[in-house]
Amino acid sequence: MFLLYSGLIMSDIVVKNDWDVLRKYTAARIGLGRTGISLPTKQTLAFALDHARARDAVYLNLDTNVLEKQLENLEFSTIKLNSKAKNRETYLQRPDLGRELDETSAKLLEKKVYDLVFVIADGLSSRAIHDNAVNFISSLSAKLEADTREWSIAPICIVKQGRVAIGDEIGQRLDAKIVVVLIGERPGLSSPDSLGFYMTWNPQVGLKDSSRNCISNIRSEGLSYDEASNKALYLITKSTELELSGVNLKERSAEEITCRASIEQ
């Protein structure tokens, strides 16, 4: 249905952009067209909505009770922890406090040698955790169970107001060989629910980001759980074999799959 405005059809008022045909391949804001010197009203309202969703993702409270029950349904035990950032405002203003456990939480962790510890932290998008964390862990844990190696996995640590580096302290206190931090990534205007995977070998307080391997954009409209868990399993396995992580460990799972297929043929 077309709307008439001063004798003009509204579809004729919007000047189309030649890149409009590419929009079906990306969520990026390209080829939006214009009316006069401005964006069309539809695109302006869509931008405002996505901006609001991104802000909501940052301030959404992580429901640790729901997350705990979901993980228990997968037969995982859990430990609920808190960083030194007491609330969301402090977390956003003091990134350093989000990298350390508070005193009460630190006392809950008893040193015991594990191959692997999962840490789930709200980060900058609790929505990403609620939407994706359990689905990803379910996919990855199935692959770990099917692996020839038996993995000793620590109770999953659920952290409120946590940053990536808080996994270093958790891993060190549990004496884990590898720590995997699943965290809500900084919301984009097209992806307020993006989950990040950060893996570190021999976690210790004070490590640099170069010591970690990252898989980004894990979500239904991004990197699928199956593909992401394949990459994660590759990194975890190689990290254990080589006893390293970070810039010296490259994710080449696709290359190895292609190589195996060629050999089988």
Averaged confidence pLDDT in the chain: 90
Asked whether the predicted pLDDT for residue 107 surpasses 50, the reply is yes
185 against 33, higher pLDDT: 185
DSSP character at residue 250: -
Render 94-113 in DSSP notation, one character per residue. Answer: -GGGGGSB-HHHHHT-----
> Is the Cβ–Cβ distance between 178 and 115 less than 8 Å?
yes
256 against 4, higher pLDDT: 256
Q: What pLDDT does 261 receive?
A: 44
> Predicted confidence band at 130 (pLDDT cuts at 50, 70, 90)?
very high
Asked whether the predicted pLDDT for residue 264 surpasses 70, the reply is no
> Predicted confidence band at 57 (pLDDT cuts at 50, 70, 90)?
confident
Question: What count of Cα atoms within 13 Å lies in the side-chain half-sphere of residue 193?
Answer: 13
Provide the token pair at 229.
Answer: 């868990």
**Average confidence (pLDDT) over 83-95:** 96
> Is the Cβ–Cβ distance between 78 and 158 less than 8 Å?
yes
Q: Cα separation of 100 and 235, whole Å? A: 25
CA-derived radius of gyration, the chain: 22
Q: Which range is least confidently modeled, 48-52, 194-198, 257-261? A: 257-261
262 against 111, higher pLDDT: 111
Domain boundaries, the chain: 59-256
> Predicted confidence band at 177 (pLDDT cuts at 50, 70, 90)?
very high
Asked whether the predicted pLDDT for residue 119 surpasses 50, the reply is yes
Asked whether the predicted pLDDT for residue 12 surpasses 80, the reply is no
Q: Which range is least confidently modeled, 1-5, 81-85, 124-128, 253-257? A: 1-5
Reported as a single tens digit per residue, the pLDDT across 205-232 is 999 999 999 999 999 989 999 999 999 9
Q: What pLDDT does 228 receive?
A: 97
Cα distances from 213 to residues 14, 145, 160, 199, 249, in angstroms, run 45, 22, 22, 5, 8
Reported as a single tens digit per residue, the pLDDT across 152-176 is 999 999 999 999 999 999 999 999 9
Q: What pLDDT does 37 receive?
A: 84
Q: What pLDDT does 146 receive?
A: 93
Q: Give residues with Cβ within 8 angstroms of 174, minimum separation 6.
A: 109, 110, 111, 112, 114, 117, 154
CATH number belonging to domain 59-256 = 3.40.50.11240
Asked whether the predicted pLDDT for residue 149 surpasses 50, the reply is yes
